[in-house]
Each structure stands twice: as structure tokens, then as C-alpha cells.
Amino acid sequence: MTSGPTHSLRTRIALILTLVVGAYALLDHAVQRWAVLPRFAELEEREARKDLERVRSALDDEIERLDQRCREWASSSETRRFIENTALAHEPLRAAEVQRFREANASARELANAGLDLVYVVGRDGRILAGGAYDQTSGAPLSIKSFALDRVAPTHPWLVHERHSSTDAALPEPVRGLSMTEIGPTFLAARAIPVDEGASEWLGTVVIGRRLDRALVAAVGERTSVSFDVWDLSDPDLPTEVAAVVERVTSSSDAVVEARDERMLEAWSTLDDSRRIPTLIVRANLPRDISAFGANALQYSLISTVAAGTLLVFVLLSVLRRIVLAPLARLTEHAVAIGRTDDVHAKLKLDRSDEIGVLSGEFDRMMEKLEHSRAEVVRTARVAGMSEISTGVLHNVGNALNSVNVAVNVISERVRTSKLQKLERVVEMIESQGEKLGEFITAHPKGKHVAPFLSEVAKLLRHDQEEIAAETGKLCAGVEHLRALVASQQELAGKNELREAVRIEDQIDLASTLCDLPRAVAGGLVLDVHGGGLGRVMLDRHKLVQILVNLLKNAREAIVEAKREPGRIRVTVTHEGERVRIAVEDDGCGIATENLGRIFNHGFTTKTGGHGFGLHASANAAVEMGGRIEAASDGPERGSRFVLDLPYESAPHV
């Protein structure tokens, strides 16, 4: 029965249009990726340099603010009064004021409140009048070797120095900038303390400083919205990634920008100290937002192109559907309906004057011609179906006839080799003696052997009788199976199923006998039967035997084909829930992987002279019993395994 085309014309047209739109979208995306995306990367590098420059400006602003505070401190009247009082510190009142200034301006607590790490008030002669250096967090003193004593050299670079030009009437130039100290990189500012406001004469120097520590780096990073790190260029233990770029950064007049990974960008530069010597290396850590934005823009462009192409495909398909596809769909549905209902009398009558109209008219005329041959086709199909069923039945009958033929041959051989002729000769000899029979038996040399001979013949005849009886039983079982096979053909029309209480072990024994496996076992074949013990189970006995005969026969033939003598066949019966499984395994020629899916197909066989009916009929019989057969193999020469899975129903106890 035809269910319709697997690939409709509409699908093909839609596929072609989709492929065209997809190819255009990919090409457009590739061009934008190669031509547009690099522009975003260039913009990102420019922005990275701007961000790094903003960090440098923020650090310069820190120095500027520090210098502004130093100017306020140096011009403060309180500072001038402190220096004047220091010279008269032996007077109690002046000494108290000196101490109060030191506690209010140069203690650890006040430095922390002011956000400073060091403050020194130094006289013109280099004497340290007040001050110190303290850690802002812990308040612990910080050691600065040159300021460790109560006096520092007047020429110290942190101090302001006298101008030597006779024309200069202004105060000494202030000192400010970055300096590397024992407490780390420090921003410093130093200014002269004038004698009076606006005077050119000065009393000493105010030095204040703040370390460029993590707290300051974090504060500047938060203010500039740029995360950055700093390292001392003179540090011999620079991190590997920093040491790798030092040479490029110090030799470049511009910032060095490079990608760390797909998400982060690094911008490198140096910071000079107050002597204009590169002292620190700075790295700004910048997210690659611009590249991400560019990638998102490209993605949006791709989506937009695909959406526009999809809309175009939809419009084209709508037009094609009305003009071409809808009439063709009607023609296709009409053909499918005829295939489904076999109503060849139905007419399409598509009223069109174009090619599709001509096609529909020719199709209607073809159906008229087909109607005349329908009866012949039906008859041929019926004959073919009956032939297939008959072939399956004959195949199973042939399997049963093999066992019948073996039994008949055994009986015939026993009859042919019977001791009856010798017994008749003895009878003739006895009858020829007449009244001298007694004397002949007791005195004649030949007569003495009559009684032992008769005894031996009786034993042999008894043995022959037992074997003939056993073979007759097998013959009867085979004939009974043949009768059941023929009866099953008649039952098939009514879908009848004869279920009876049977022991699966007995049916395995019967099937092995019908396959003549006992003789193969006598020749060395190993037949292992495991499991069972299920008691009596409700099954169709003849269908079960039919399936087992086919499976055991195929297993034996696979062993012979593989020339694996004596070979092994293993039959296992298991009970799992509401199912009973009978597995037949062999170590024969196995099944190729590509054949496993076709092993139960009608007519499929890999055996020379085979017909491909046995497993097909067995699979059908299993389905009729409410079960199934599964086949498995690891490949050629590695044996095979067939599992018969049936519903389990225990027989009622009588």
C-alpha cells in the first residue's frame, strides 16, 4: 500500500531554496568575519590604549593631589610655628606645642586618616624635626634607612634645594613623582616651608608620601573602571608572563596590546620615576567587550540574513504552491488514495489546460486501462500467496520427513539383518529329524548347539523388537508432527491456535530426535540442555516443535559448514517474569553483521542449496504464538545465538 511520496516536490524545492539561502548567508557571514570583525579588533586595541592612558593619568592625578596637600601643609602657619617652636623647645610652653603638632600631624593614626604612609618635616640643616612612616592598615612603623636617624643629608633627593642663581628670588622648586624605596614604590611630594606667606626665604622641607600598594591600585582601578597590576622592573623574580614582555614594553614608545585569551585583553606600559627613568611596568586587564559586541553583531547579521532568506523561501513556496504544488498535491493524493483503496474507478478531473491538466487526464485514462487488468493481478497475487504458504509448509514437512525417513531406514535395516533366516534353517533341520529329535539334540554334535542358538536368537530378536518399537515410536511422532503441520495449514485460515499443557524439555527432546541429533551426539557432537524445570506450560506444541526443529537443524548445519567437529550446541531455558526464553547457541560458521537484519526475510539464505523458508516460517509461527525470535552473532566463524521469546502461562493443576 502506497502511503505517499517520500520526497515531495515541495520538499525538494524548499530544500533547494533553503540551500541557496544558507549558502548566501554563510558566504555573507564569512565576508563579514574576514572584513568587518578585524575592524572591531583594531577599535578594541585603540580603546585598550585609551584605558591604559586613563590609568596613567589617574596615577599622575594621585601625585598631583599629593603635591597639592604638600603645598597646603608647607604654607600652613601651624607648620611654620612648629619649626619656630622647635628651636625653643627647651621652654615648657613651646615644647608642649611641638609635641602637640607631632601627635596631630605625624602620628600613625593621623597618617592613616590622611591616607598617607609617610610625613617628614625637615629643617634646612637636614635635621628631622617631626614625622615617620607607618603602615596604614596595621599602624606598624615602616623602615626607611635614610630617615632612620634624627638627621638626613641636606642633599637628599627627597628634599628641596637652594637655588644658586643670584637672580632667583623664589622658593626652591618642589620635588614630586615616583620613587622606589625600601617600603616599595611610593608617590612623593616635597615643598619648601616659607618664613612667611609670600616670602622667598624658607625654613625647611615638608615631605609626604603614599605607597603604590594594592589598596591604592584597587582604588585607582575602581575610579577608572580599569583593572590593572604593577610590577617593579628591577625585581629579579618577575612572573613569567611579565618577564616575557618587558623588553618589548620598555623598547616601545607606545603601549603594547595583546590578547590574553578570547575574553581578556592586556595593555602594557611603563611608569617613570621622578628622574624620568622607567621604574614600574603596568598591565591593564581589559575585557574584550568590543570584540564580543562585534561577534554578536555578526551573529545578528547572520540571523537577520537567514530570517530574510526564510521569508523569501516562504513567499516563493506560497506562490509555487498555488500555481504548481497544490495541483500536483491533488494529483499525488488521488494516486495515493487509489493505491490505498484500490478504487480505480475514481477520476481526478482536474480542469486545467496546462501541462498539469494534460497529466491528470492521462492519469485518468491510465486508470481505465488498469481496471481491465485488475482481476488478473488479483488472481496472480492470490496464487503467489498460496505458493509462499505452501512452500513454508512443505519446508517444515521436509524437516519432519527427515526424521521419518531415518526411522524407516533403521527399521528396514533391522528387518534386513534379522536372524529369521538362520532360525528357519534350524527349524527345517529340527523338522527333518522327526522322531529322532531328542536323540539329535542330545547326541548329535549339531543338535547340541540348537538350544544355545535358539536362546541367543531369542535375545537378538528381543533386542531388534525393542529397537524397532523405539523407531516406530519416533516414526509415529514424526507422522503426528506431519499431521499437525498439514492441519495447521487448515487452521491458518481461521487463525485458530491449539494451546495445550506441555513440558518444554520434552519438546526439546522431540525436536532433537526429529533433527536426528542423537546420532550426531553418538558421533561426538556435544548437546547441552540447561534450565527447564518450569513444569507444564500452556503453548502450541506443534508450532514450538516446528520452531525448535528449524533452530536445531540450522545449528547442526552451521557446525558442519564450519568443519568444527565434533561441535557444540547449547539449549538454555529461562523464565523471566511473564516471558519464557529458549536460547539455541552453536559454535558454527556464524552470521555476518550485514545479514543479521535479513536473516528472517522470506527467501533469504546463505546456505548452498537453501531456500530461505525455515527461519521465515519460524518467525511467523513465533508471532502467531505471541512471541518473537531474535538472532545474534559476533561475526563469521564465531557461532550464533537464536532466542525464542514466548509468553509464559503456567498450566492449571488438574
**In this predicted model, what pLDDT tens digit does every residue of 544-580 receive, in sequence order?**
888 998 898 888 888 888 888 788 999 999 988 889 9
Tell me the helix, strand and coil percentages in the chain, rounded to 5: 55, 20, 25
Of 639, 522, 499, the residue nearest 570 (C-alpha): 639
Amino acid at 478: G
Burial label for 91, CB within 10 Å (0-12, 13-18, 19+), is: exposed
- Pair 364, 334: CB distance under 8 Å: no
Of 125, 121, 114, the residue nearest 74 (C-alpha): 121
- When pLDDT is averaged across residues 249-260 and rounded to a whole number, the result is 89
Among 98-107, 340-349, 619-628, which is the least confidently predicted range? 340-349
Confidence of residue 276 (pLDDT cuts 50, 70, 90): confident
Vertex 224: Cα angle to 222 and 227 (nearest 5): 60
Q: Which CATH number fits domain 498-654: 3.90.230.10, 1.20.1420.30, 3.30.450.20, 3.30.565.10?
A: 3.30.565.10
% residues pLDDT > 90 (the chain):
22
Residue that has been written with the C-alpha cell 563469521 in this structure: 636
pLDDT exceeds cutoff 80 at 221: yes
pLDDT exceeds cutoff 50 at 518: yes
pLDDT exceeds cutoff 50 at 388: no
Which residues lie closer than 8 Å to 539 by C-beta, 6 or more apart?
499, 500, 502, 504, 625, 646
How many Å apart are CA 499 and CA 626, to the nearest integer?
A: 12
Answer with the residue of higher pLDDT: 197 or 186: 186
Answer with the residue of higher pLDDT: 438 or 627: 627
Answer with the residue of higher pLDDT: 565 or 158: 158
Confidence of residue 166 (pLDDT cuts 50, 70, 90): very low
**According to CATH, what is the number of the domain 36-287?**
3.30.450.20
At 506 the pLDDT is 86
- When pLDDT is averaged across residues 507-528 and rounded to a whole number, the result is 81
Answer with the residue of higher pLDDT: 474 or 162: 162
Amino acid at 203: L
Phi, psi angle pair for 619, to nearest 5°: -60, -40
At 189 the pLDDT is 95
At 300 the pLDDT is 85
Among 66-75, 176-185, 454-463, 585-594, which is the least confidently predicted range? 454-463
- When pLDDT is averaged across residues 460-467 and rounded to a whole number, the result is 68
Among 351-365, 414-428, 582-596, which is the least confidently predicted range? 414-428
At 396 the pLDDT is 57
At 381 the pLDDT is 39
Most confident residue range from 23-27, 148-152, 207-211, 496-500? 207-211
At 451 the pLDDT is 64
- Pair 453, 424: CB distance under 8 Å: no
The length of the chain in residues reads: 654
- When pLDDT is averaged across residues 608-616 and rounded to a whole number, the result is 73
Average pLDDT of the chain to the nearest whole number: 80
Kindly report, residue by residue over 291-313, the tens digit of the pLDDT. Answer: 888 888 888 888 888 888 888 88
Torsion of Cα atoms, 377 then 378 then 384 then 389, to 10°: 170
pLDDT exceeds cutoff 90 at 58: yes
pLDDT exceeds cutoff 80 at 630: yes
